[in-house]
Amino acid sequence: MGRVWALARKDLLTEGRSKETLNGLLFFAALVLLIFGFALGPDPERLTQAAAGVLWVGFILTGLLGLTRAFQVEQENESLEGLLLYPGDRGAIYLGKLVGSVVFMLAVEVTVFPCFAFFYNVPLWRALPGLLLTAALGTVGFAAVGTLFAAMTMHLRAREVMFPLLLLPFVVPVLLAAVKGTEAFLRGAGRAEAFPWLTLLGLFDLIFVTLSLFAFEWVVEE
Amino acid sequence: MGQDGGRAAPRQGGIALQGIGKAYGAAWAVRGVDLTLGPGESLALFGPNGAGKTTLLKILATLITPTRGDGRVAGFDLRKEQEGIRESLALLAHGTHLYEDLTVRENVEFAAAMRRRAGPLEALLERVGLAEAAGERVRALSSGTKRRLTLAKVMLAEPTILLLDEPFTNLDQAAVALLQGFVAEVLARGGSVIMATHDLMRGYAACRRAAVLVNGRLIHEAPARPGGLEALRAAYVAATGTQGG
């Protein structure tokens, strides 16, 4: 696990230094929420109905950009080659990149929540624990597949197009479960209604992380 | 400096390749390379651009799986025991493998963590002349200084198999001397070194054997001995039509 944490720490430190991605993503997420909020109008019921979907559109778009950036760092100076030369199981590289991406995406999401509450008039405090749990489970599932596909497409010339094209169909089940879980907590329906969706998310996370872990070595081989 | 966990690195040099080939589609980058290098031996690998030198080094470094052939590196099977090979090996490649937004020290600390090396890193930074620049971000360094830092990461690996791909690029005389000293150290402790380069003079002087790779084939291999450079140069010119460095 030492290598996993070392890699995740390195990614977060690198991102913390440059801040270019973090600032860009926060601005982008806030813009998505504002534009959708503006388009949906002032009707509170309409806003509440659309809120969960809009929130996850924001998370997914910022997540796509964040995951692309996570592997761009490894392209500079052929650093991925350097990572592959280190001893030990290459699964540690996948897990390190995954942990770094999840922490980074969660940091963006936590910062976006107050903005979301403001634009969509959502009683955030009551729903916050459930929302955070759903966001964490959804983010792990999304980043699990995203990290694998980001590694797979990093050398492609058209990676900006290919990455979302390949990734999004795979993560549809995660997104649907995440939106339904978020919706249940926003409506105040309670844990009973959200539980099946959270269980589904947990299951997807387990499957996606396991499969991606095994596929990673094959994906990064030249 | 030593390992603080994980699999113990075998202290054994030696490379043995039989019929190693690598194809990309219909094009063969490396064809039927047989090569034996014992502990304490070094080989200078010459060849023009596109000859397959880098591909061969990457096969040895487990970055590329060969299409054909078998081999053992540091006593480990090239196909089945790649983790063992990576424990024993360091590659000084074209890319610096550095993170530009991290400092010199952070880059070395990261490499140490990934290699599970414990112990203070000051002596290593001092040795490569980067102790005073330890807190500087890599982005602010000159290309020569970055190359020194890459060399420090290679030294950190304490390899028994050292692969050098155009190692003299961007190195000043002091850094070249440092590299040569390190190569001598690896050989003295029974390691094996392969140096791929265009620079016939330096490569020949630095290694005990020399070989020429052209179109993926090893066409000439001989011990490096005084006066032997001309024979190697003749073989190189005959095969490539160019003079070499």
**Is the CB of residue B93 less than 8 Å away from at least one CB of chain A?**
yes
Interface test with A, best of B99, B107, B136, B161 (most A CBs within 10 A): B99
* Whether A17 and B7 lie within 8 Å, measured CB to CB: no
Residue written as tokens 């080659």?
A: A81
Q: What is the mean pLDDT of residues A12-23?
A: 84
Question: Domain ranges in chain A?
Answer: 2-220
**Residue A207 in this model has a pLDDT that exceeds 80:** yes
User: What stretch of H or E contains A130?
Assistant: helix A124-153
* Whether B116 and A2 lie within 8 Å, measured CB to CB: yes
Determine the number of helices (DSSP H) and then strands (DSSP E) in chain A: 8, 0
Cβ contact A12:A100 at 8 Å:
yes
Residue that wins the pLDDT comparison between A69 and B4:
A69
Which residues of B, range 200-239, sit inside 8 Å of A by Cβ? none
Chain-wide mean pLDDT for chain B? 89
* Whether B114 and A81 lie within 8 Å, measured CB to CB: no
Residues of A in contact with B106 (CB under 8 A): 10, 13
Minimal-distance CA residue of chain A relative to B147: A77
Nearest Cα residue to A136 out of A74, A182, A191? A182
**Is the CB of residue B106 less than 8 Å away from at least one CB of chain A?**
yes
d(C-alpha A149, C-alpha B42), whole Å: 40
**Residue A76 in this model has a pLDDT that exceeds 50:** yes
Minimal-distance CA residue of chain B relative to A20: B101
Cβ contact B95:A80 at 8 Å:
no
Q: Which domains does chain B have, with CATH numbers?
A: 12-94+160-240 (3.40.50.300)
Interface test with B, best of A77, A79, A221 (most B CBs within 10 A): A77
* Whether A88 and B6 lie within 8 Å, measured CB to CB: yes
The phi and psi torsions of A179 (rounded to 5 degrees) equal -65, -45
| pLDDT for res B11 | 57
Cβ contact B94:B165 at 8 Å:
yes
pLDDT tens digits, residue range B73-132? 999 999 999 999 999 999 999 889 999 999 999 999 999 999 988 877 999 999 999 999
| pLDDT for res B8 | 47
Q: What is the mean pLDDT of residues A145-167?
A: 90
CA of A136, closest CA in chain B: separation in Å?
A: 27
* Whether A3 and B114 lie within 8 Å, measured CB to CB: yes
**Is the CB of residue A76 less than 8 Å away from at least one CB of chain B?**
yes
Amino acid code (one letter) for B199:
D
Predicted confidence band of residue B244 (pLDDT cuts 50, 70, 90):
low
| pLDDT for res A193 | 85
Nearest Cα residue to B66 out of B113, B19, B109, B120? B19
Neighbours of A102 (CB within 10 A): 21
Minimal-distance CA residue of chain A relative to B153: A82
pLDDT tens digits, residue range A21-61? 888 888 888 999 999 988 988 888 888 888 999 999 999 99
| pLDDT for res B231 | 79
* Whether A85 and B6 lie within 8 Å, measured CB to CB: no
Bridge partners for B16 per DSSP: B36, B72
* Whether B86 and A87 lie within 8 Å, measured CB to CB: yes
Cβ contact B183:B90 at 8 Å:
no
pLDDT tens digits, residue range B16-33? 999 999 999 999 999 999
Q: What is the mean pLDDT of residues A171-178?
A: 94
pLDDT tens digits, residue range B128-161? 999 999 999 999 999 999 999 999 999 999 999 9
Minimal-distance CA residue of chain B relative to A9: B110
Greatest pairwise CA separation for chain B in angstroms: 51
